[in-house]
Structures are given as structure tokens and as C-alpha cells.
């Protein structure tokens, strides 16, 4: 999966590009930023492979992001695709060795060419169903989220799932209560310890330690059951495929439960 970050100070432009990228199964938008400062902070957190970068941002220019990243080894290597409404920046973009230069509004066919170039340069993306590497044992025991101006500390062992809902993510805990958080799912995937949290698809993260029962359904789907108070969760084909792989290899995951078929 190629991890992509969008940097543009216009939300409609980010939304449009994110929708175009969603047509490509091996592309994952892990974060969005509207300024140089936000971009640098998120880059360090989510480690994208590619920046789709506008030139004119709220607090500077896209070139400022590139210059700042050059002095921070943890932010490299990084591939840049400029996305702007001004063709006059093309020469300057290629002077900083950008992979490509797209003019707004971005055409789907033109974006496909750009992604093909990125795949050739970066190499094949990791298989989406490949289990994530284990995190350090020093992972935090609580997850800090912001909701309606309040900071909430959710115990990790209480969280059963995190689901993508557009620009938001919905966290559900064992009591059945859920919280809609203004953060992309990719940011939670980078923060939550794995195991027990595993990303089963582009839109679903599940705490496998909280699964009580799995019902395998026709059509390559499955439904996860947790406890008497938490709602069950229907998985699509991609999530079910990965779950089957995990049920066959769960002994190697250490903290994963035995997955029962129902």
C-alpha cells in the first residue's frame, strides 16, 4: 500500500483528490494538512511515501515543506507530486526533483499516469493483507482523542473497533458507546499498537483481542461479534480475506484470540 498525504489549504481540493485516489486499491490517504507547519508535524507522525503538495499554503509555500524536510532525516526518502492551479511553478517544481506536476482540476487519466510513475519509482506496494509489524511493548495504554473541545483518554483494551467515515473515524468501545473523531483512519493505524489492533481493510481497524465470535457468511463476507453490549461488525470481502488469513496464523500473533466459526 502506497501511503499518501495531501497538503492543500483548500478543503474542496483535498476532497476531490482524495476521491480520485480512492479508485486505486493500492493507494491509502493517511493524512491531510493545510499548512507548512501541519504538514511537517503529520509527516513525522504518519510517515507517508508520497506528498501531493500544493504550492501556495496558509503559512508559506509547498517548497518550504521540501526544504524543511531536507534537514530532517526521519522525513526522507519522500516523493513529491505538486498539485497546483499555476503552471508557472513547473520549472521550480522539477528543480527540487518533484516526481510530477499536476494542474488543477486534476484529470483521472492524468492522475493514473502519475501513480504509475510512482509505482515504478517506489517499487511494488506491500500486499494489503500482509500482517503489520509488531509494535514496541512500550506502547501507551490509553488513546488520547479530542471531542467537542474536550480531551478524552480511552483505555486501549476498551476499544473494539475504529471505522473510517469520510474525513472522520468512529471509535467504538466495549460498552457499545461510540465517538466520532475528526482524524483519518490512517493516523489511528499509525498510533495503535499492533497486535492487538489490526487493520483489516482500508476502512476498518479491529481489536482482535475483543472478538468473541466470527460468523463466516456467503459471498466472501463475515460478521464479527464482540460481547452482549457492543454492536456486531460486518466485514467486506477484503476485510474477510485478511481475517481468514489471521485465523489460520493467529498463533504467531501472540495476543490474538482463537477465532471461532459460527
Mean pLDDT by 10 residues, the chain (262 residues): 91 92 89 91 88 92 88 76 90 85 93 90 54 44 78 87 87 89 82 84 88 86 85 87 72 42 46
Instruction: Look up cell 480511552; give the residue.
Output: 154
Structure confidence at residue 262 (pLDDT): 46
Structure confidence at residue 34 (pLDDT): 92
Radius of gyration of the chain (CA): 20
Structure confidence at residue 112 (pLDDT): 93
Structure confidence at residue 201 (pLDDT): 84
Q: Which domains does the chain have, with CATH numbers?
A: 2-122 (3.40.50.2300), 142-253 (2.40.50.1020)
End-to-end CA gap in the chain: 31
Whole-model pTM: value is 0.53
The three three-digit cell numbers of residue 84, written as one number: 497546483
Element (H, E) at 206: strand 204-207
Structure confidence at residue 5 (pLDDT): 93
Burial class (CB in 10 A: 0-12, 13-18, 19+), 149: exposed
- Distance in angstroms (rounded) separating the CA atoms of residues 250 and 88: 54
Structure confidence at residue 254 (pLDDT): 37
CA distances from 34 to 2, 6, 56, 147, 190 (A): 21, 8, 10, 20, 20
Q: How far is CA 152 from the centre of its chain?
A: 22
Amino acid at each position: 500500500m502506497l501511503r499518501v498525504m495531501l497538503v492543500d489549504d483548500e478543503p474542496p481540493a483535498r476532497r476531490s483528490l482524495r476521491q480520485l485516489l480512492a479508485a486505486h486499491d493500492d493507494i491509502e490517504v493517511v493524512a491531510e494538512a493545510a499548512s507548512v507547519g501541519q504538514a511537517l508535524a503529520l509527516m513525522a507522525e504518519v510517515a507517508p511515501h508520497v506528498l501531493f503538495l500544493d504550492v501556495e499554503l496558509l503559512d508559506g509555500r509547498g517548497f518550504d515543506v521540501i526544504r524543511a524536510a531536507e534537514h530532517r532525516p526521519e522525513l526522507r526518502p519522500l516523493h513529491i507530486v505538486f498539485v497546483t492551479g499555476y503552471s508557472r511553478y513547473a520549472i521550480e517544481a522539477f528543480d527540487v526533483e518533484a516526481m510530477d506536476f499536476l494542474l488543477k482540476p486534476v484529470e483521472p487519466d492524468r492522475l493514473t499516469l502519475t501513480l504509475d510513475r510512482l509505482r515504478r519509482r517506489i517499487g511494488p506496494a506491500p500486499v494489503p493483507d500482509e500482517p503489520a509489524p509488531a509494535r514496541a511493548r512500550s506502547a501507551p495504554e490509553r488513546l488520547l482523542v479530542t471531542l467537542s473541545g474536550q480531551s478524552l483518554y480511552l483505555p486501549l483494551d476498551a476499544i473494539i473497533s475504529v471505522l473510517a467515515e469520510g474525513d472522520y473515524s468512529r471509535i467504538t468501545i466495549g460498552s457499545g458507546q461510540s465517538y466520532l473523531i475528526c482524524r483519518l483512519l490512517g493516523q489511528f493505524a499509525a498510533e495503535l499498537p499492533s497486535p492487538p489492533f489490526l487493520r483489516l481493510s482500508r476502512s476498518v481497524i479491529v481489536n482482535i483481542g475483543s472478538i468473541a465470535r466470527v460468523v463466516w457468511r456467503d459471498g466472501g463476507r463475515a460478521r464479527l461479534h464482540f460481547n452482549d453490549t457492543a454492536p456486531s461488525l460486518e466485514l467486506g470481502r477484503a476485510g474477510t480475506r485478511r481475517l481468514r488469513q489471521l485465523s489460520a496464523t493467529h498463533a504467531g500473533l501472540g495476543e490474538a484470540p482463537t477465532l471461532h466459526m459460527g
